A and B are shown apart, each in its own frame.
Chain A
Amino acid sequence: MKSRPTQRVPDASAIRVAAIEGLRRITVKHLRRNIIMGLVAVGALITLATTLFQIVLGQPWGSSLAICFWLWFTVWSAMAAESFAEGRGKARASSLRGGREGLKARLLRGDKEYVVDAATLQPGDLIACSAGEVIPVDGEVVAGVAMIDESAITGESAPVLRSSGGDRSAVTGGTTIRSDSVTICVQSAVGHGFVDRLIALIEQANRQPTPNERALSIVLQALTAIFLVVVVTLPLLMWYAGVPANTTTGVVGLVALFVCLIPTTIGGLLPAIGIAGMDRLVARNVVALSGRAIEAAGDVDVLLLDKTGTITYGNRKASEIIPAAGKRHDEIARLAYLASIYDETPEGESIRHLVVDAYGPQEHPQQAADVPFSAHTRLSGIDLPASQSVTQIRKGAVDVIASQCEAAGNPVNEVLLTTASELARKGSTPLLISVDDLSVGLVELRDIVKPGIRDRFERMRQYGIRTVMITGDNPLTAATIAAEAGVDEYIAQARPEDKLERIRFEQVRGNLVAMIGDGTNDAPALAQADVGIAMVSGTQAAREAATMIDLDNDPTKILDVVDVGKELLRTRGALTTFSIANDVSKYVAILPAMFASMWPTLLPTSITEALNVLQLQTPESAILSAVIFNAIVIGLLLPLALRGNRDKGRRPEQMLRKNLLIYGLGGIVAPFPSIKLIDMLISLL
C-alpha cells in the first residue's frame, strides 16, 4: 500500500464507467452546478429545435444536426471528465472500507462482557479487544498495552505500540491487534470515525469550490456574460450592416460562436482539476480535510519543520572513527566494533556498519560478556575472559570514560579531548573508546541529514518559501545541521510553545505557514498553522487540529503537499489562459463563415475569400470544425488536468515563461492548424 505516486494508466473499464456516468450526469441538477456547461446544453437544445424546424421546413439540416451532436458531445466530455476524476478516488475509498462491514464488539458492562454489533456502540462505551481482532471504532486505550497493525490505514507494515495514557493511546477503527489485549473507550460511533471521514473526503461527496476556484469561476462567468451579450447583439449589427437575415443558419451559427467563445475548456475541466489534485495527494498517502487546505499549501510562505524525522533520520549514526595519536585506524575500528557487538541501539548498529563497510566482516570473540548501556553509566562495551590480552573494551560519553581513565591513572591525551570538544561543537556526539581504562580513540556520531533534502529546500527557496527548522538541540548543533541541510532559519533549544509563537509571528506579517506534527503538544500549533499536517499515528488531538493527515507518517511529505498545491494552481492558470487564447482562432474561423454565407449580395466573392483566412472549405464546415475542435480539446487536455502542470525542477519564472509560451501563445496559434485539419477531414467525408 505504501506506494509512491505512480503514473496510473487509465484502464478501459475506468474509462467506460466514466463515459456512462458522464451521460447520466447530463441532467438539470448537474448542469446547474456548472453554469458554463449548462449554457452549452441550452445552446445544444436551441440547435436541436432549429434542426427539427429545418427538417419540417424542408431546409438543409445536415450541418445543424452535426453541430448539435458536437455540442452535446462537449457537455458529455465535461461531465465524463469529472466522473473519471472522481472514479480514481472511489477505488481507494472502497479499499479503505473493505473488511469493516458487520464487525462485532465485546462490550464491557460492569464485570460482564457482551458481544454486540459494532454499529450499536456509543461514545463512552468500554470494549475489550485482543490479538487477532479488528478494532471496530475509534477510541482511546484506557487499560493495557498492545501491538497494533495499522497497515490498513497507514500502509506501515510494522505494528505499533499503543498503551493507555500519553501520546500513544489513540486507536483507529479498522486496525488489527497483533498481540496482547486492551480495553478501549469508544470515542466515535461507527460511521463517524476517522476512517469514515477519510472515505468521505477521498470520495469528495461534499466537495465545495475552493476560494481560488470561486475567484476563477467569477472571472469565467463574467467573460461568459459578456460573450452572451456579444452574440445576442450580433444579429442586430449584421442586419444593420446589410447582412440579409437567414434565421435558421443564423441561429445555429450564433449558438456555435457563443459556445466556442465561452471558456468551455476550463469550465469543463475545473471540477476535474480540483478532484485530481486531492487524488494526487491521496496517491501520496496524504488526505486533505478540505480542498482549501491543498490550495493554501501552494501559497505557503514559511515551512516549519521538526529537525528530527524531517531533516535528519532522527537517530545518530557513526560517521567516522578517529584514532588517538600513534594508533592505527583499523585497530581502533576493530575495537569500536568489539565494543558494539551486543549493542542493539541504532547507534551501536551504525558503528558496526561503518566498520564492516570499511574493513569487511569482523570475527566475533569467544565468551565475551555484554556490558549493556544504561542511562546511569552512560557507557557500554564487553568484558573478555582474563586470558585475553585485553579484558575491558568500553565506549561511552567522553566525560564518563575520561574520568574512569583518569581514576586508573591514564589521563586522556589533550589532543584527543580537544578533538572531542570540537566534534561536540559542530553538532556531533563524540564517543570515547577505552581499552582497560586507556583511551584509544573516538567515534563520531552524527545526525545524518536525509539525502536529497538539501535540493528540495533549494527548490522551496526558488518558490520563495522560507524553511525554519525547529530543534531541541543547542544552538551550535542546530547551526551545523541547518547549514548542512540548507534551511533558511532555525530555532534551537525550542520548547513546544515556540512553534505556536513562531507561527503567530509569521502570520502577523502576512505569511502563510505550514507545519507537520504528531504529538499532543503540536495540536495548538497545527490548528494555528494555515496548513497543518498531522501524522496518522499522532494523537487524536493532533489529528483533529490538522488540515491534512499523512497516512505514511513521513514528515518530508510536507514538501510533496506544497508541490501538489502549486501544481493545482498552475494547471488552472494554464487551462484558463489556453481557453481564452483559443477564442482568437475561433473568431477567425467562424466570423467570416457567418458573414460570407449570408453576405453574398453585399460583399464580392474576392472579399469573402480574403476574409476566409484559413481557406476553409465551406462556411458550414468552418463553423463545424471550430465546434469540433472546441469539443475534443476538453478530452485532449483531461490528462493534463488529472496529472497537473508539473514543474520538473524549473525555476518559477522559467516555468511561467514556458507556460505563457505554451498555453498563451500556443493557445492562440495551435487551433489554426487544428481547425484547418478538421475542416480537411470533414471535406473528405
Chain B
Amino acid sequence: MSDVLAILLFLAIVIGAAIPIGWWLNRILFQFPETGRLAKLDVSLSKLLTGKGHGSAQSVKAYLVALLVCNAVGLLLLFAVLMCQALWDSSLPSMPWYGALNIAVSFVTNTNWQWYSGEVTLSPWTQALGLTVQNFVSAASGIAVLAALTRTLAGRKDAGNLWNDMRRIILYILLPLSIAVAVVFVVQGVPQTFTAWLYGGSSPMGADIPVGPVASQVAIKQLGSNGGGFYGVNSAHPLENPTWITNALQQWGLLVIPAACVVAYGLALGRKKHAAAVLAAMSALFVTGALVMWASETQYGGMEGKDVRIGTTSSVIWAAATTAASNGSVNAMHSSLSPLAGFVTMANMITGEVIFGGVGAGMYGMTLYIILAVFLCGLMIGRTPEYLGIKLTAERMKPVLIGLLLPTLSILVLVATALLLPGARAVVSSSGPHALSEILYAVLSAVGNNGSAFAGLSAGGIEWTTITSIGMLVGRYGVIIPVLLFAHQISGTSVVPSNTVQFSTHGPLFVVVLIGTIVLIGVLTAAPMLVLGPVADHLLMGVGQ
C-alpha cells in the first residue's frame, strides 16, 4: 500500500512543481516582456550571441527550416568532435564512423541511445562540450516545436522566431534549473571535475575510477528527457546517483518539464481545463503502467538488475517514468525486469512517448492523438470535427496521421530488418521470445527517442548503429516535420468562437476517450509484437521455461 502511495505522491510532487515551471515557460515563450530588466537582458544576450537583437517573426516553414539547419549543424559538429577526440586524448580508443554518427544522431534527436560506456569511450571534454551542449539544444528544440505549434493553434500566422525560442528556453529555463539541480548533486557527492580518472588510493572504493563533469551532465540528462548518462550503467552507477536524495531528485527531473509543457500549452491557449484533462490522461496511463510493473515485480521479479540501495519501488517508478517520458536514463537494468514489467516499458514507448513524453515532444505528440480522438468522436456529435476551433479537413488530417503512424511504421520495418540481418541477430544474447523482446526494445527505444536499453544486446556493430540511427531520425523528425506541416496548414486560420456545440476537450469523457484512443492505436499496431515478445516470455516463465 505504501508503495502505491509512493507512486501517487511522486506524481503529485511532479505536477505540483510543473505548475510554476509551466507558468514561467508560458511567460518566456508566449508572453515575453517587451520592457523591463528581463527584456533588456534578453536583447543584450541576443546581441552577444548573434550580433543582432530579437529575431523577427518567422513563417512556420522558415521556423522548420531554421530548426532543421540548427539540428543538422549540431549533428555535424558533434560527429566531428567524436571523430577527432583521439587527437587530443590518445588514451581513448578510436571510434568507427558509424559509431560516432550513431552517438551524434542519438544526442541531437534527444534520444541518448548509448551503445558505448561513456566513461571509457569519451573524454570529459567530449562529454561536456559535445554531448551536454546537445543535451540542452535537443531539449530546447523539442520545446521550440511545441511553441510553434501552440502559436498557430492560438490563431497566429507566424510561428515565432526559432533563435529567440532556443535562446530563451536554454538560458531562462534549462540552464538555471540544471545548475540548481547540479549543485545539489555535487553536495551529495556526484563528481564534477575535468580530471578523467580517480586513481586507486584516493578513490573511496580503492580502485581506479573514471570521473569527469558528471553532475552537470546528469542534471540536464534528467531534466531535458535526454537520458544519456556519464557512466554506461547510467544512474545505477553509485557516482552518478549516490544517495536517496539524488535518486529522488533525478526521478522528479524525469517528468517535471514534460508536465510543465502541458501546463504552458494550456495557459498559452487559455485552456486550463483542457491542459488539466491532458495531464489527467497522462497521469492515469502512467499510474496504471507503474502499478502493473510494481505488481509484476513484487510477485515475479527478483533483485537481479536492481541496486539494493534503490530497491524495487523506486526502480519501478523510475522505469515507468523513464520509458513514459522518452528519457531513457535508468537506475535498474530493464532486461532483468519481469516480463510483464518489461511489457509496460515497451507499451509506454509504443504510445510514441506521449505519457508526459519528452520535453515539448510529449505534448506535441499528444496533440496528434488528441486530434485523432477529436476527429473520430467529434463526428458523432454531428459536425465536422474541430480542435480548438480549427476544422479538421482532409489536408490537415494528412500530416497528423503521418506524424502518428510513421514512427509505428518504422518500428515494424526496422524490427523486420533487424530480424532479417544475420549480423543484427547475432549480437542478441538470448533466444526465443526474450530475444525478440530485446530487439523490440532496442528499436522502440530508438524510434521513441527514449534511449534506454534492455541490455543483453550489443548495439555497437554497423547493423545496429544503422538501424537505431534510422529509427532515431524517423522517430524524431518523422513527427516534428508533420507536426510543423500541420501548424503550417492551420496558421492564420481564424479561430471559430466556440459558441457551437463541439466535442468537449475537457472533462472526464474527453479523458476517457483520449486514453481509449492512445490504448487502442497502441494495441492495434503493436499487439502481435507484444504477444510474441514479452507476453510469450511471461507465459513461458509461468511454466518454468
With A241-B532, A301-B500, A510-B497: A652-B435 Cβ-Cβ less than 8 Å: no
- State A242–B392 Cα separation when bound (angstroms): 44
- How many interface residues does chain A have, given as a range? 35 or more
12 residue pairs bridging A and B, Cβ less than 8 Å apart: A219-B372, A219-B375, A222-B405, A240-B425, A241-B432, A463-B382, A463-B501, A466-B499, A510-B497, A653-B504, A660-B509, A664-B516
CB of B439 to closest CB in A, whole Å: 8
Q: A465-B500, A583-B524 are in contact. Are A233 and B413 (CB under 8 A)?
A: yes
Q: Does B393 contact A (CB under 8 A)?
A: yes
Complex contact B503–A230 (CB within 8 A): no
B92 interface residue (CB < 8 Å to A) = no
CB-CB contacts of B377-407 with A at 8 A, as 1s and 0s? 1111111100001001110111001101100
B409 at the interface (CB under 8 A from A): yes
A464 close to B536 (CB less than 8 A): no
**B494 at the A/B interface (Cβ < 8 Å)?**
yes
Nearest A residue to B431 by beta-carbon distance? A242
Asked if B433 is at the interface of the complex by the 8 Å CB criterion, the answer is yes
In the complex, the answer to whether A570 meets B381 with C-beta atoms within 8 Å is yes
Give the secondary structure class of B's interface.
helix
Docked complex Cα distance between A668 and B211 (Å):
55
From B376, B394, B528, A230 is in contact (CB under 8 Å) with B528
Asked whether, in the complex, the Cβ of A242 is within 8 Å of the Cβ of B433, the reply is: yes
Provide the residues of chain B in CB contact with A222, threshold 8 Å. Answer: 401-402, 404-405
Give bound CA distance, A222 to B524, whole Å: 13
Chain B min CB distance to A184 (Å): 43
B382 contacts A570, C-beta separation under 8 Å = yes
Tell me if A679 is interfacial: C-beta within 8 Å of chain B.
no
Does B500 contact A241, Cβ atoms closer than 8 Å? no
The stretch from B63-71, B185-193, B259-267, B415-423 touching chain A is: B415-423
Tell me which residues from 176 to 230 in chain A have a Cβ below 8 Å from any Cβ of chain B.
211-212, 214-219, 222-223, 225-227, 229-230
A295 with B384: in contact, given A219-B372, A226-B408, A233-B416 (CB under 8 Å)? Answer: yes
Of B383, B513, B536, B542, which one neighbours A299 at CB under 8 angstroms? B383
Complex Cα–Cα for A466 and B376 (A): 25
Known contacts A222-B404, A465-B500, A510-B494; can you find 15 more A-B pairs with CB under 8 A?
A214-B394, A218-B397, A222-B401, A232-B416, A237-B533, A241-B433, A241-B532, A241-B536, A301-B496, A510-B389, A565-B382, A566-B382, A573-B381, A583-B520, A664-B513
Contact across chains for B524 and A227 when beta carbons are under 8 A apart: yes
- 9 nearest A-B residue pairs (beta carbon): A573-B379, A566-B382, A464-B500, A464-B501, A573-B380, A222-B401, A215-B394, A214-B394, A510-B496
Q: Looking at chain A's contact residues, is the secondary structure mostly helix, strand, loop, or mixed?
A: helix
In the complex, which residues of chain A have a beta carbon less than 8 angstroms from the beta carbon of B85? none
Identity of the chain A residue whose Cβ is nearest the Cβ of B391 in the assembled complex: A299
Interface stretch of the complex, out of A362-370, A426-434, A601-609, A624-632: A601-609
For residue B398, give the distance in angstroms from its CB to the closest CB of chain A.
6
A622 to chain B, nearest CB (A): 15
Partner among B393, B415, B525, B532 whose Cβ is within 8 Å of the Cβ of A238: B532
**Contacting residue for B377 out of A509, A587, A591, A656, CB 8 A:** A656
Q: Known: A211-B394, A607-B539. Contact between A567 and B501, CB under 8 A? A: no
- Give Cα distance in the complex from A243 to B503, angstroms: 45
In the assembled complex, which residues on chain A have CB atoms less than 8 Å from the CB atom of B147?
A: none
Q: Name the interface residues of A572-599: CB closer than 8 Å to any CB of B.
A: 572-574, 576-577, 580-581, 583-584, 587, 591, 595
The residue among B376, B436, B531, B542 with the most chain A CB atoms within 10 A of its own CB is: B376
The answer to whether B543 touches A212, judged by C-beta atoms less than 8 angstroms apart, is no
Indicate which residue in B380, B433, B497 contacts A570 across the interface (CB closer than 8 Å): B380
**What CA separation (Å) do A657 and B489 show in the bound complex?**
31
Is A347 engaged at the interface, CB distance under 8 Å to the other chain?
no
With both beta carbons as reference points, the residue of chain A lying nearest to B501 in the complex is identified as: A464
Q: Are A655 and B377 in contact (CB under 8 A)?
A: no
Cβ-based interface call for A647 (8 A): yes
Residue A610, interface by CB 8 Å: yes
CB contacts (< 8 Å) of A572 on chain B: these are 379
Q: How far is the CB of A657 from chain B (nearest CB, A)?
A: 6
C-alpha gap A574/B425 in the complex (Å): 44
List residues of chain B with CB within 8 A of the CB of A611. 539
Known: A219-B375, A510-B496, A580-B524. A607 touches B542 (CB 8 A): yes
Q: Which of A218, A595, A656 contacts B401 (CB 8 A)?
A: A218
Number of chain B residues close to chain A: CB under 8 A: 65
The answer on a CB contact under 8 Å between B419 and A576 is no
Which residues 448-488 of A have a CB within 8 angstroms of B? Answer: 462-466
* Interface hits, A543-577 → B, CB 8 Å: 565-567, 569-570, 572-574, 576-577
Max chain A Cβ within 10 angstroms of own Cβ: one of B381, B396, B504, B513 = B381
- Residue A219 contacts which of B401, B494, B503, B539 (CB distance < 8 angstroms)? B401
For residue A76, CB closer than 8 A to chain B, the reply is no
**A286–B248 Cα gap in the complex (Å)?**
68
- Answer yes or no: B495 CB below 8 A from chain A CBs: yes
In the complex, whether A537 has a CB less than 8 A from a CB of chain B is no
Q: Does A332 contact B (CB under 8 A)?
A: no
- Give me the interface of B with A, judged by CB distance under 8 Å: 372, 375-384, 389, 392-394, 396-398, 401-402, 404-405, 408-409, 412-413, 415-416, 419-420, 425, 431-433, 435-436, 439, 494-497, 499-504, 509, 513, 516, 520, 523-525, 527-529, 531-533, 536, 539-540, 542-543
Least Cβ distance of B223 to chain A in Å?
Answer: 34
From B375, B380, B433, B436, contact of A574 by CB (8 A): B380
A672 part of interface (Cβ distance < 8 Å): no
Instruction: Give A261 to B389 CA distance when docked, in angstroms.
Output: 32
Q: Which of B392, B499, B500, B533 has most chain A Cβ within 10 Å? A: B500
Q: Which residue of A lies closest to B416 (CB)?
A: A233
Chain B nearest CB, measured from A663 CB (Å):
7
> Is residue A234 within 8 Å, beta carbon to beta carbon, of the partner chain?
yes
List chain A residues, Cβ under 8 A from B520. 580-581, 583-584
In the bound complex, residues from chain B placing their C-beta under 8 Å from that of A577 are 376-377, 380
Known: A225-B405, A573-B380, A652-B382. A215 touches B542 (CB 8 A): no
A87 at the interface (CB under 8 A from B): no
Q: Are B529 and A261 in contact (CB under 8 A)?
A: no
Known contacts A299-B384, A607-B539; decide if A211 and B528 are in contact (CB<8 Å). Answer: no
Q: Assess whether B382 is in contact with A567, with CB atoms less than 8 Å apart.
A: yes
Contact of A647 among B382, B425, B532, B533 (CB under 8 A): B382
Cα separation A610 to B535 with both chains bound (whole Å): 12
A216 to B401, CA, bound (A): 11
Shortest distance between the CB of A254 and any CB in chain B (Å):
10
Q: Determine the residue in chain B with the shortest Cβ distance to A257.
A: B528
In angstroms, Cα B401 to Cα A215, docked, is 11
Chain B hits for A607, CB < 8 A: 539-540, 542-543
A569 and B509 contact, Cβ closer than 8 Å, known pairs A219-B375, A229-B412: no
**Are B380 and A656 in contact (CB-based, < 8 A)?**
yes
Verify if A50 is at the interface (C-beta below 8 Å from B): no
Given A229-B413, A462-B501, A576-B376, the answer on whether A240 and B389 have CB atoms closer than 8 Å is no
B372 partner residues in chain A, CB cutoff 8 A: 219
Closest to B529 in A: A237
Out of A242, A465, A509, name the residue touching B497 (CB < 8 Å): A509
Structural contact, B416 and A236, CB atoms closer than 8 A: yes
Q: In the bound complex, do residue B378 and residue A573 qualify as a contact, i.e. CB atoms below 8 Å apart?
A: yes
Report if A511 contacts B (CB, 8 A).
Answer: yes
Instruction: Give residues of chain A (644-660) contacting chain B, Cβ–Cβ below 8 Å.
Output: 645, 647, 652-653, 655-657, 659-660
Q: What is the distance, in angstroms, from A293's C-beta to the closest C-beta of chain B?
A: 13
Given contacts A218-B394, A237-B419, A603-B539, contact A656 B376 (CB under 8 A): no
Q: Answer yes or no: A298 CB below 8 A from chain B CBs.
A: yes
When chains A and B are docked, how far (Å) is the Cα of A211 from the Cα of B385? 12
**Chain A, 234-262, CB within 8 A of any chain B CB:** 234, 236-243, 261
Q: Are A230 and B379 in contact (CB under 8 A)?
A: no
Residue of A nearest to B440 (CB): A237
Q: What chain A residues lie within 8 Å of B384 (beta carbons)?
A: 211-212, 295, 298-299, 569
Question: Please, which residues of chain B bring their CB within 8 A of the CB of A230?
Answer: 412, 524-525, 528
